[in-house]
Amino acid sequence: MARIPIFLMGLVVIWAALAEAEYMIYKDATKPLNSRIKDLMSRMTLEEKIGQMTQIERGVASAEVMKDYFIGSVLSGGGSVPSKQASAETWINMVNELQKGALSTRLGIPMIYGIDAVHGHNNVYKATIFPHNVGLGATRDPNLVKRIGAATALEVRATGIPYVFAPCIAVCRDPRWGRCYESYSEDPKLVQAMTEIVSGLQGDIPANSSKGVPFVAGKTKVAACAKHYVGDGGTTKGINENNTQISRHGLLSIHMPGYYNSIIKGVSTVMVSYSSWNGVKMHANRDMVTGFLKNILRFKGFVISDWEGIDRITSPPHANYSYSIQAGISAGIDMIMVPNNYKEFIDGLTSHVKNKVIPMSRIDDAVTRILRVKFTMGLFENPLADNSLVNELGSQEHRELAREAVRKSLVLLKNGESAAEPLLPLPKKATKILVAGSHADNLGYQCGGWTIEWQGLGGNNLTSGTTILTAIKNTVDPSTEVVYKENPDADFVKSNNFSYAIVVVGEPPYAETFGDSLNLTISEPGPSTIQNVCGTVKCVTVIISGRPVVIQPYVSLMDALVAAWLPGSEGQGVADALFGDYGFTGTLSRTWFKTVDQLPMNIGDQHYDPLFPFGFGLSTKPTKTI
């Protein structure tokens, strides 16, 4: 038998060792999920683990930062874009540039990029803007919401982003809250039904899946985020980020049901609320985050903070950041939306672990959950986006879906003085009609907050879409003269011999705390427009608002009244119903109060005395009116 030289044997041993070293279980997609997580966790340093727990804003991110700090996630805040009117390709290039930084680290763990897509891909120029949730609740159509989730996922993926901070499953119990339009309803059962959007965004969870395990069905779907856990819609007087005073039974029966369903559907992440429950900040509430969400509900995805959420554990915010880190991480938050001062966060958390203030087991729980979501959604196999979906952004098919959602969300509150004399549907053929009001020809106003900019914008040059005025002109007979005057005086209305008028008024755009309102009035000149027009000629008033507003003083002046909520980019859906191409079918997902003194007032309350009750909505039949 020939002898193998010793130096060759040595080479064989070295080669075998190298082959063994190169094979990493976590990189092998054929291996079981838990084996991949365990293998990767065993290789990670504390520095790498803490990097995974850190989410930073794109404004402070770069490929170098991703690499040097092992950053696990990046986000776009409201209105934070790579460039004004950025194309899908520009978004993809930005996300991939950051991703390459993450992949260049020792272990090559991909980062996850997140964005608020709360009514379509709302930060992005030319994306389809769907009605806000308050309108979708009025459709009573979970399948529609699921289809909107699927369309939104495609548009988000079109820009290279795999994670959205949606849906908001708040149960808004007081319309004075500036986020009320982000809530489907005051009724927990209706909110629960609308969690179908999770399946639209992520895909339907396989039948044999364990409950509570995150699920994302590939490259046309996104990881979703149920928010804001828990009780965000129940704060005193609707004050944003404030205190929800309610019994444990009340919290679980009113504010929790949407989470049960979202978790069953495999929601990947849950975002913690800025608000407090009975004086305890949710961001520091270990009983609710670890005890209830993780242990009792067996949620296996990751828990993320809100924007600077741990900072606000103290008052004033950031007053004792070391304590905030300890309280937030100890409560069970896995990923911190820092979003700017990431070095301070990383240093503070590292110090807490080294000084045994926070146990390593808590860090391992957090990172295990983050990696579980990343592996599940295929980020390790497909970390970089390509241009294959760019044509999905603002596609005609999605705009048609949004238009369908608009017309199904409209609620007809009044139609003539009696059923025998309805005003709607309006005749398309008329000599001359008046369109009036601040919201009739204002795309930004009809989209509301969280559109291109965080607070929303006024005007018609923010993105592409159809204003209600344009929709009316598209719909009436070519022989009908359409006169538009934003705020006509009564003399103008009288002297023009109009066949009828359409008045479109409401709230200006707002988001979060900026929308908190104790009076809920329609902004001027809305009320004077209603009086000048509806006091003079037959009129239908269309209210554009994120919630019920004070209209009782004006209802008697109007012949017809439509609640259109915040319909988004496809104003044609409003004209579809006004002129009878489709019937009105929407019903109130919120109680419409008489006066703000009645608030809070929700269905089932003893003092329930609404102007229009929960579930109210007149219907019309489609007609081929000429």
Residue 300 has pLDDT above 80, yes or no: yes
Which residues are within 8 A (CB) of 41 and not within 5 positions of it... i.e. 6 or more apart?
A: 364, 367, 368, 371
User: pTM for the complete prediction?
Assistant: 0.96
- Domain-located, residue 545: yes
Same domain, 318 and 188: yes
Nearest residue to 141 (alpha-carbon basis) of 182, 183, 197, 186: 197
* Contact indicator for 547, 590 with CB cutoff of 8 Å: yes
**Residue 286 in tokens:** 């270990």
| pLDDT at site 8 | 56
pLDDT, tens digit, for every residue of 231-268?
999 999 999 999 999 999 999 999 999 999 999 999 99
- Domain-located, residue 272: yes
- Domain-located, residue 12: no
Residues taking part in catalysis: 306, 512
**Residue 81 in tokens:** 């874009």
**Residue 279 in tokens:** 């004086």
Q: What is the mean pLDDT of residues 18-44?
A: 89
What is the rounded distance in angstroms from the CA atom of residue 75 to the CA atom of residue 55? 7
Residue 583 has pLDDT above 70, yes or no: yes
Same domain, 365 and 442: no
Q: Around 624, how many Cα atoms within 13 Å sit in the side-chain half-sphere?
A: 0
What is the rounded distance in angstroms from the CA atom of residue 108 to the CA atom of residue 321? 30
Same domain, 58 and 158: yes
Residue with tokens 């339009």: 181
Same domain, 370 and 489: no
What is the rounded distance in angstroms from the CA atom of residue 537 to the CA atom of residue 384? 59
Residue 623 has pLDDT above 80, yes or no: yes
Residue 21 has pLDDT above 80, yes or no: no
- Domain-located, residue 10: no
Nearest residue to 216 (alpha-carbon basis) of 270, 162, 294, 279: 162
- Domain-located, residue 112: yes
Residue 1 has pLDDT above 90, yes or no: no
Q: What is the mean pLDDT of residues 502-506?
A: 98
Of 390, 415, 433, the one marking the end of a domain is 390
Q: What is the mean pLDDT of residues 545-557?
A: 97
**Bridge-based pairing state of the strands 560-565 and 411-415:** antiparallel
The count of structural domains within the chain is: 2
Same domain, 309 and 194: yes
Q: In this structure, what CATH number is given to the domain that contains residue 349?
A: 3.20.20.300
Q: Around 464, how many Cα atoms within 13 Å sit in the side-chain half-sphere?
A: 10
Same domain, 457 and 542: yes
Residue 464 has pLDDT above 50, yes or no: yes
Q: In this structure, what CATH number is given to the domain that contains residue 412?
A: 3.40.50.1700
Nearest residue to 437 (alpha-carbon basis) of 445, 429, 425, 426: 445
Of 332, 362, 390, the one marking the end of a domain is 390
Residue 289 has pLDDT above 50, yes or no: yes
| pLDDT at site 394 | 98
Same domain, 412 and 551: yes
Of 367, 390, 413, the one marking the end of a domain is 390
Same domain, 214 and 350: yes
Same domain, 366 and 446: no
Report which secondary-structure segment, H or E, holds 68: helix 63-69
Mean pLDDT of the chain: 96
Alpha helices in 203-320 (DSSP H): 248-250, 257-264, 286
Same domain, 354 and 246: yes
Lowest mean pLDDT among 4-18, 59-73, 572-586: 4-18
- Domain-located, residue 82: yes
- Domain-located, residue 32: no
Task: Give one DSSP letter per residue of 584-615, joined into a string.
Answer: -----SS-B-SSGGG-S--TT-TT---SB-TT
| pLDDT at site 10 | 57
Same domain, 205 and 278: yes
Nearest residue to 407 (alpha-carbon basis) of 193, 207, 562: 562
Residue 417 has pLDDT above 90, yes or no: no
Domain extent for 235: 48-390
Same domain, 348 and 414: no
